């Protein structure tokens, strides 16, 4: 402790010596452009020059094909007075004198009387998608749009391409491209659970989502050496009275070498939110800000602190949390900065909190502190570009048609783009025809949670599932035959479920509730009723319906119909009489399953997953494989359920899909967790956990057990590696299992749980090995001892995964989507019959 004090002393001396008046930053590149304007525009003391003055520094291709519009009435900001309107992809090219990070700020305002609200805006640089298909029509609220991005420019020019999507127009009112000091963004940051560590920060683009001046006024570009805007935080406070703002004279802020005015203006550090009632007896008290975010992205979070209220040094120690997880504990500003009024900041990366489209940030007192208080002065939240190098959805630059300055590209590319464009137009036309045809049949129809194109019952268009829900029709890419089943009326659902009788409740999840229902004809169904107000639920329902409308398989729970009346989100499924697999393993008094039953159930589930991975036109990753999502019908046939988190798998030229980590703890693929790269092998890992659960009959995670037993994957693997899985298996199985069958099963589970995806078998291989384990069990009397050679022999039989599912590939053509399950089973049994070899 005393050495710490010494450090504090040394630091404080240093701080005094260092001059707090750092020279103001002058950007090397600084372009302020008033698009479509004929004269200079002054806004907040800065001059925006017209883009028609083509200098050697900035140029605009296709200028002749664009036109300019001007406002005759008053506009929200001076830079909104004029706009340039594009009917074809058009690029601005900025000469860059100093490579490195630059602000790219875009101002959009659909000037009235020019039909600009019909515009569909996409903006891409050579490497990043900044805006994808933004439309003012669906945007209610403020009618202008301002976006700030930070991009590391690594060549001597920056291209900004404006792409009119959907055959529409695009426009822009004003652009800023300005250098940022290199020190502003570090190369490494602390990651906070849940998140993926980002090692190459400098290769990512950022979009400013929030920049807050806690407890202080709004700061405009004039108050900030880097032209940033800082908003007041009040409207994001979770509990209004939980915070009290404090402030000091900004000139008292003592900048350091590490924290300069470029990090944040002194106005940010001179105001703060502190605890509403300092010294509250309740030490669990904390101040929380709730910030809605797009859950599909990772965020860079910078928190600014400055102790402006303590009477003396070393009285303030507090904790900083992100998503209620510890981000920085025992934050002791005195020992970090050596003095009061000295600014400090810390960076983190994090994803949105589990299952919620929000980030929460909290500060709370530390129990060891003398005075219970906590402080936050400023907060910046920047969206980090994803694997598709996009900040808006999952469509990459290459997938948005870009021409313009990329003149050096071969003509082949252009031809391909033209053909591609033609195909897109054709498809869009088709979508449109479908919709119009359907509309005229059904008349006006109010908006629904159903994915729009699914209205049709014959030929319909589905959205590519990897695209962001926002990107809408631009991603209309695949035609599929939809099999949504019956459209139930709400009354029918009410009758079937006895008005959602709680006694008929089968389960409750994040999405809503599932009831048992009985249709008029006496058939039992499961009715899943979502909460239409939950954004998350909406997305999951859409995913589920999109997935299920494309898939039919004996081992996937099938959809009978839906109800979208009165904005209800209701899906009706076949009823699975024996419920989830988990309830037959532990936690209930249901009779234990025999070994053979367990094998058959695992085989059924493996078949369902194998079909998901290989059977459909585009492979599908379930993402939430667990024993509660494997349901059993009256004959104990296993079916995989709950596609709410599913994602279309990687396409041929990719090896993975990048996405925010979702799924259930205990089943999460550690590799997916580390790298956020989703492959089919993530499902294989989760399935390995299921296999271990089936044999050990205990939950995947059981926190009350000793440390080494908490996680079934670790614990069972330890025993399996010693070849002693039988020591921890379900007592009901002891003496009733063929040892060779058990051995095969254990080996299969072990392979599924390999640390790296590449070392795990495919679902087809898993299926196979389980079939073999079943054969060993069934023929245990005939096969005396398992022969290692025969095992190996079995494994090398080439199996083309798509072969047995040939029928289903025709789904692309919109043909029937049923799989011939019997044929499939026949192929497998033939292949795995050890006696046949």
* Residue ranges binding ligand NAG (CB under 6 A): 40, 47, 49, 100-101, 152, 154, 182, 185, 202-203, 284, 286, 321, 324, 362, 364
Query: Cα 117 to the chain's mean position, in Å?
Result: 29
Cβ proximity of 490 and 564 under 8 Å = no
Please report how close the Cβ of residue 286 comes to ligand NAG at its closest, in angstroms. 4
Based on CB atoms, which residue is closest to ligand NAG, 36 or 834? 36
Token look-up 């960076």 returns 347
**Quick one: angle between helices 821-832 and 763-778, nearest 10?**
60
Nearer to ligand NAG, 293 or 612 (CB): 293
Minimum distance, C-beta of residue 245 to ligand NAG, in the bound complex (Å):
20
Nearer to ligand NAG, 40 or 800 (CB): 40
To ligand NAG, the closest distance from the beta carbon of 191 in angstroms equals 17
In the complex with ligand NAG, which residue's Cβ is closer, 180 or 625?
180
∠ CA 414-419-422, rounded to 5°:
125
Nearer to ligand NAG, 101 or 516 (CB): 101
Please report how close the Cβ of residue 39 comes to ligand NAG at its closest, in angstroms.
6
Cα–Cα distance for residue pair 160/128, rounded to 1 Å? 10
CB of residue 74 to ligand NAG, shortest distance in Å: 22
From residue 725, give the alpha-carbon distance in Å to each of 151, 427, 708, 718: 53, 55, 15, 9
Q: Which residue has the tokens 């349901």?
A: 631
Residue recorded with tokens 């993926």 = 196
- Could you tell me the smallest distance in angstroms from the CB atom of residue 280 to ligand NAG? 11
Given strand 486-487, what is the order of strands in its sheet?
486-487, 559-563, 569-574, 524-530, 512-518, 505-509
| Catalytic (active site) residue 624 | yes
Q: Are 260 and 346 in contact (CB under 8 A)?
A: no
Of 323 and 618, which CB lies nearer to ligand NAG in the complex structure? 323
β-partners of residue 573 are 526, 559
Q: Give min distance, CB of 200 to ligand NAG, in A.
A: 8
The nearest distance, CB 68 to ligand NAG, in angstroms, is: 17
The contacts of residue 685 (CB under 8 Å, 6+ apart) are: 667, 668, 669, 670, 671, 672, 752, 753, 754, 757, 760
- Rounded distance between C-alpha atoms, residue 183 and residue 94, angstroms: 23
Q: Is the peptide bond before 194 cis (omega within 30 degrees of 0)?
A: yes
Residue nearer to ligand NAG on the CB measure, 47 or 523: 47
Pick the closest to residue 480 from 552, 561, 429, 574 (CA basis): 552
One of 294, 564, 624, 730 is an active-site residue; which one? 624
Helix, strand and coil percent figures for the chain, each rounded to 5: 30, 25, 45
Q: Which is nearer to ligand NAG, 117 or 155 (CB)?
A: 155
Angle, vertex CA 199, rays to CA 197 and CA 200, nearest 5 = 130
Catalytic residues, by residue number, are: 624
């Amino acid at each position: 402790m005393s050495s710490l004090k010494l450090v504090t002393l040394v630091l404080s001396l240093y701080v005094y010596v260092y001059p707090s008046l750092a020279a103001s930053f002058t950007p090397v590149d600084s372009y302020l452009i008033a698009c479509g304007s004929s004269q200079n525009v002054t806004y907040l003391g800065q001059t925006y020059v017209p883009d028609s003055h083509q200098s050697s520094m900035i140029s605009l291709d296709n200028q002749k094909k664009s036109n300019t519009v001007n406002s005759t009435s008053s506009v929200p900001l001076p830079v909104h007075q004029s706009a340039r309107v594009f009917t074809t992809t058009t690029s601005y090219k900025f000469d860059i004198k100093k490579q490195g990070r630059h602000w790219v700020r875009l101002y959009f305002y659909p000037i009235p009387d020019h039909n600009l609200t019909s515009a569909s805006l996409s903006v891409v640089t050579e490497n990043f998608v900044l805006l994808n298909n933004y439309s003012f029509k669906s945007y209610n609220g403020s009618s202008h749009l301002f976006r700030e991005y930070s991009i590391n420019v690594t060549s001597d020019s920056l291209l900004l391409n404006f792409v009119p999507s959907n055959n529409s127009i695009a426009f822009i009112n004003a652009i800023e491209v300005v250098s940022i000091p290199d020190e502003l963004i570090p190369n490494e940051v602390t990651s906070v659970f849940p998140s993926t560590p980002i090692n190459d920060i400098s290769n990512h683009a950022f979009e400013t989502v929030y920049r807050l001046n806690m407890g202080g006024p709004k700061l405009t570009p004039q108050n900030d050496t880097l032209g940033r805007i800082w908003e007041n935080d009040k409207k994001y406070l979770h509990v209004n009275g939980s915070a009290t703002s404090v402030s000091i004279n900004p000139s008292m802020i003592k900048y350091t070498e590490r924290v300069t005015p470029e990090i944040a203006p002194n106005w940010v550090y001179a105001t703060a939110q502190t605890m509403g009632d300092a010294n509250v007896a309740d030490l669990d008290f904390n101040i929380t800000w709730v910030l809605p975010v797009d859950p599909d992205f990772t965020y860079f979070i910078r928190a600014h602190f400055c102790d402006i209220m303590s009477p003396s040094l070393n009285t303030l120690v507090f904790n900083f949390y992100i998503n209620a997880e510890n981000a920085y504990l025992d934050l002791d500003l005195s020992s970090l900065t050596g003095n009061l009024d000295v600014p400090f900041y810390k960076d983190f990366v994090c994803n949105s909190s589990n299952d919620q489209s929000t980030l929460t940030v909290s500060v709370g007192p530390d129990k060891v502190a003398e005075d219970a208080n906590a402080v936050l002065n400023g907060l910046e939240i920047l969206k980090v570009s994803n694997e598709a190098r996009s900040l808006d959805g999952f469509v990459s630059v290459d997938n948005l048609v870009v021409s313009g300055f990329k003149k050096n590209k071969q003509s082949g590319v252009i031809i391909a783009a033209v053909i591609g464009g033609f195909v897109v137009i054709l498809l869009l036309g088709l979508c449109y025809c479908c919709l119009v045809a359907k509309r005229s049949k059904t008349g006006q129809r109010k908006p629904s949670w159903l994915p729009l194109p699914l209205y049709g019952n014959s030929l319909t268009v589905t959205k590519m599932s990897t695209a962001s829900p926002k990107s809408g029709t631009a991603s209309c890419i695949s035609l599929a035959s939809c099999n949504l089943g019956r459209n139930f009326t709400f009354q029918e659902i009410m009758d079937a479920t006895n008005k959602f009788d709680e006694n008929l409740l089968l389960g409750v999840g994040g999405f809503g509730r599932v009831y048992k229902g009985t249709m008029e004809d006496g058939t039992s169904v499961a009715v899943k009723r979502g909460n239409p107000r939950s954004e998350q639920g909406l997305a999951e329902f859409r995913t589920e319906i999109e997935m299920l409308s494309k898939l039919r398989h004996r081992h996937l729970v099938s959809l009978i119909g839906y109800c979208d009346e009165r904005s209800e989100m209701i899906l009706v499924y076949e009823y699975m009489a024996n419920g989830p697999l988990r309830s037959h393993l532990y936690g209930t008094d249901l009779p234990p399953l025999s070994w053979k039953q367990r094998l058959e159930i695992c085989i059924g589930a493996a078949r369902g997953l194998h079909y998901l991975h290989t059977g459909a036109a585009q492979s599908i990753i379930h993402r939430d494989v667990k024993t509660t999502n494997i349901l059993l019908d009256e004959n104990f046939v296993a079916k995989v359920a709950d596609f709410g988190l599913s994602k279309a798998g990687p396409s041929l030229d990719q090896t993975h899909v990048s996405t925010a980590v979702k799924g259930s703890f205990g089943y999460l693929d550690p590799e997916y967790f580390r790298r956020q790269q989703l492959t089919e092998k993530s499902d294989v890992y989760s399935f390995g956990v299921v296999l271990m659960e089936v044999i050990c009959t205990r939950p995947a995670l059981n926190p009350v057990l000793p440390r080494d037993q908490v996680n079934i994957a670790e614990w069972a693997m330890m025993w399996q590696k010693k070849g002693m899985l039988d020591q921890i298996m379900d007592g009901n199985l002891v003496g009733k299992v063929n040892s060779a069958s058990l051995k095969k099963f254990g080996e299969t589970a072990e392979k599924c749980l390999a640390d790296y995806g590449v070392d795990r078998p495919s679902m087809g291989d898993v299926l196979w090995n389980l079939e073999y384990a079943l054969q060993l069990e069934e023929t245990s009397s005939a096969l005396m001892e398992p022969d290692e050679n025969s095992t190996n022999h079995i494994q090398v039989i080439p199996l083309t995964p798509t072969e047995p599912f040939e029928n289903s590939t025709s789904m692309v053509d919109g043909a029937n989507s049923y799989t011939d399950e019997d044929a499939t089973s026949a192929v497998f049994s033939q292949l795995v019959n050890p006696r046949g070899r």
